[in-house]
A = this chain, B = another copy of it.
Amino acid sequence: MTLISLSGSGPLIDGRQSEAALLVRRGVQRLLEEMRHATLPELPLASGRRADLISVSDKGEIWIIEIKSSIADFRTDRKWPDYRAHCDRLFFATHGGVPADIFPEECGLFISDGYGAHLLREAPEHRLPPATRKSAMLNFSRAAARRLMAAEWAAGADWNPGMLPE
């Protein structure tokens, strides 16, 4: 079962995330929306890795938020420092059932309850070089637009070119 889907396997959900991770993500998305960030889940990066959640502020600042729904989920990830190369600030996000002190001090930390989240720790800024920012924005924008089009097309079966006037 997916939590959020158009149909059994809609384009809006990729099915690989646990329910807990989806709920953590959703609470963080709500908070980020209040903070005027636009968010995009599961974005493949130039490095080949995937950001769990990436956001762009109204000023163009890029954040990556790695979601960890259990202690093991964090402990088995040795590559999280790689995400720094793709954002201006790096965060983890988890829920109240995971001890906050397992997460590195040098990253920000969100605690989500599924409905919303709070920002327990700010993240230091490490601004992207202009060329990297440009390609990161291009990647974000194209992925978001293409997913939106896929969602629209999946939802609309009843269009009919016969309605075009001659």
Contact = CB atoms under 8 A, between A and B. Distances in A.
Interface of A: 3-6, 10, 12-13, 19-20, 22-24, 26-27, 29, 33, 38-40, 56, 58, 60, 69-70, 95-97, 113-115, 134, 137-138, 140-149, 151-153, 155-156, 158-161, 163-166
Contacts of A147: 148
A20 B164 contact: yes
Nearest to A55: B145
A63 to B, nearest CB: 12
Contacts of A60: 134, 138
Given A60-B134, A148-B151, A158 B3 contact: yes
A164 B3 contact: no
B145 A38 contact: yes
Contacts of A23: 159, 161, 163-164
Q: Give me the 7 closest cross-chain CB pairs, A-B, nearest first.
A: A114-B161, A4-B156, A141-B141, A144-B144, A38-B142, A38-B145, A144-B145
Contact of A137 (B4, B24, B27, B138): B138
Given A114-B164, A144-B141, A164-B20, A33 B149 contact: yes
A28 to B, nearest CB: 12
Given A97-B166, A144-B141, A166-B96, A149 B5 contact: no
B141 A4 contact: no
Nearest to A40: B145
A23 B158 CA distance: 12
Nearest to A140: B141
Contacts of A115: 161
